[in-house]
Structure 1
C-alpha cells in the first residue's frame, strides 16, 4: 500500500503538471504560504528617449537592459519576477522554533558531524564566538563587542553573506543532477524534485541579493567565497553519487544551524545590541520579494529569511526520509504552512504518503468542480 500510494499513484498526476496542481491546491486552500503569487506589480520603465547616456551614447543606470550592479538584473523594474515562494503572515514568522533532529543512523551521524565541523570553521572565519554575557556585566556595547561577546553589524553582515553564498550550492547542484538523470531516464523520480530544489536555490540567491544591497563584498571576500563554493560543490557532487539521503540530511542539519544563526540575530536586534539595524528600512528587493509592507524594517527581513531557512530545514529532512530512487517529491504540488514547518522538523515517510494523497484528492476534487462549472448552464 505504501509503495503504491507514494511511489506509483501520484507519478502520473505529477507528470501531468505539478505547477497547475499547485495553483489548484492553492485555490482550494488559500493560504499565504501555499498561494502562487500571480499578482503582477506595476512596472516602471524609463522611456528610451530620456534614458541617461554616457559619452559613447550607451545607456547607463536608467536603462532597463543594462545591469548596474550585482543586486538586481532589472534595476529599473519593480515586482516579483521569481519562482513560487511563500509569503508569510505576522503569525507565521513568529511560529518558528529552533529544532534539532537527533542523528540515529551512521549516515545521519556522519552528516551531522560534517555540519558541526563546517560550523566550527564558519564561526572561526567570521569571528563569531557567542560567548554568554555575564549576568553582572556592566560593560558598554562597544566593550562587549571588543571582548568578543557581540558582533557588530559588519560582523553579522560578513557572516550572513558567507552563509548565503554557500547555502545555494546544494539546490543548484541537485537541479543539475536531476536534469541529467531525467535525460538519462535512469531515475523516474528525479524530475519531480527539480522545481523544489530550484526554488530553494533561488530563494537562497534572493537572500544573498538582499544582503548584498547593504554592502558590496571586497575582492578578497569574493575570492574566498568562490573558493569555498568550488570546494563545496565538488564535495557535494561526489557525496550525492554515493548517498543522496545523506546529502539531504546534511542540508537539513545545515539549515538547522541557519535557523539558529538568524534566531540569535533576531534576539540581538530586539535587545538593542545591533543599533545600526534598529531603524534601518528594509531593502526594496526584500519588500518586493516577500511582499512586505512599505514601512518594513531590517528586523522584518531577518524574520522572513529565518522562515525560509525553516522551510529548507523541513523539506530536506523530509526528503532524506524517502526512497530517492522511487518516491515522488511530496512538495511538488503544495507545501505545508509555517505552523507545520516551524514546529515540526520533518515529515516521516508515512506522513509524506498521507500528504501526497491529500494533494491528489484536492486536485481531483478541484477538477470535478471545474468540470461541473463548465457543464452548468
Structure 2
C-alpha cells in the first residue's frame, strides 16, 4: 500500500473526452448531495461502482457464447470486480447507516446508472471501460481525502466494522483508516485494469488475466 499513487490518464480522443465528461458530471452531482459527508458519499459511490463489472461481465459472457470462444478470463475478473465493489458497499452501509429515504435514492440512482451504462457498453465497450477507469480515479481521490480527514482528526478513526475485518482479514483491533486504505487499494487496481481494458479495444490485444 506504500506504492499507491494518484494517477490520471489524460483523454486524447473524442470517446475519452466523453468518458471523462460523464465522470465529471457524476462527481458534480455527488458533491451536491453529500460533499464532505465521506461515509454516506461512499455509499453512493460504491452503489454505482458495483454496476459496471456486472454489466461488462454479462455482455462479455454472452459475446463469448455467441462467438463460441474462450473469454480469456475477462468474465470472471469483471464479476470479481463487481463483487469487490459490492463488499465495499456492505462495509459502508455498516459505517454510514443511511436512512430509508437515502436508501431509496441510492436504488433509484443505481437503476438509472444500470440502464445508461448498459446502453453505453452496447454502443462502445471501450468508452464504457474508460468511464470506469476515470470513475475509479475519482474514487481514489475521494478516499485519499477521507484518509486526510481521519489523520487531521476531522473524522473519527472508529473501530473497523466486523464485516471489513472478516473480508480483508484485518487484526481484531483494526481501525477505520485501515479499512479505507484497503478499499483505496482496490479502487486503484480497478482503475488500472479498466484503463487497460479500454486500451485493448484499440490494440486488439486483450490484457492478460490477473488472478
Answer whether TM exceeds 0.5 for this pair.
yes
Match in the other structure for 2:8: 100
Q: Which residue of 2 aligns with 1:193?
A: 74
Q: 1:233 to 1:226 in 2, by over 3 A?
A: same
* 2:166 equivalent among 278, 288, 300: 288
Q: Which residue of 2 aligns with 1:163?
A: 45
Instruction: Give the drift of 1:327.
Output: 3.2
Equivalence for 2:64 = 182
Question: Cα deviations across residues 341-368 of structure 1 (Å, max 9, x unaligned)?
Answer: xxxxxxxxxxxxxxxxxxxxxxxxxxxx
C-alpha distance in structure 1 between counterparts of 2:91 and 2:13, whole Å: 37
Q: Which whole-Å CA distance do the structure 2 matches of 1:326 and 1:194 have between them? A: 17
Offset of residue 326 of structure 1: 5.3
Structure 2 unaligned blocks of 5 or more: none
| TM-score normalised to structure 1 length | 0.53
Aligned ranges for residues 1-377 of structure 1 at < 5 Å? Answer: 93-126=1-34, 128=35, 151=36, 155-185=37-67, 188=69, 190=71, 192-274=73-155, 277-278=156-157, 280-323=158-201, 327-330=205-208, 332-334=209-211
3-state SS in 2 of match to 1:321: helix
State the Cα RMSD in Å: 1.8
Aligned residue pairs total 211
The answer to whether the 8 Å contact 1:258/1:306 transfers is: yes
Q: Is the 8 A contact 1:200 1:312 kept in 2?
A: yes
The answer to whether the 8 A contact 1:169-1:201 is kept is yes
Would you say the 8 A contact 1:179–1:191 is kept in 2? no
CA separation in 1, counterparts of 2:107 and 2:126?
Answer: 26
Q: Is the 8 A contact 2:40 2:92 kept in 1?
A: no
Alpha-carbon distance in 1 for matches of 2:84, 2:25: 25
Match of 1:55 in 2: none
Say whether the 8 Å CA contact 2:15–2:127 is kept in structure 1. Answer: yes
Of residues 209-218 and 160-169 in structure 1, the stretch that sits farther from structure 2 once superposed is 209-218
Shift of 1:217: 2.2
> 1:356 aligns to what?
none
Separation in structure 2 between the aligned mates of residue 313 and residue 326 of structure 1, nearest angstrom? 20
The 3-state SS of whatever aligns with 1:323 is helix
Larger Rg: 1
* Residues 133, 191 of structure 2: 8 Å contact kept: yes
Cα offset, 1:183, TM superposition: 2.4
Provide structure 1 residue ranges, at least 5 long, that are not aligned to the other structure.
Answer: 1-92, 129-150, 335-377
**Cα deviations across residues 163-202 of structure 1 (Å, max 9, x unaligned)?**
111110000111111222222226x464631111111101
Q: Is the 8 A contact 1:189 1:329 kept in 2?
A: no
Distance 2:179 2:102 in 1: 23
Give the drift of 1:297. 0.6
Contact map agreement 1:189 1:325 (CA 8 A) in 2: no
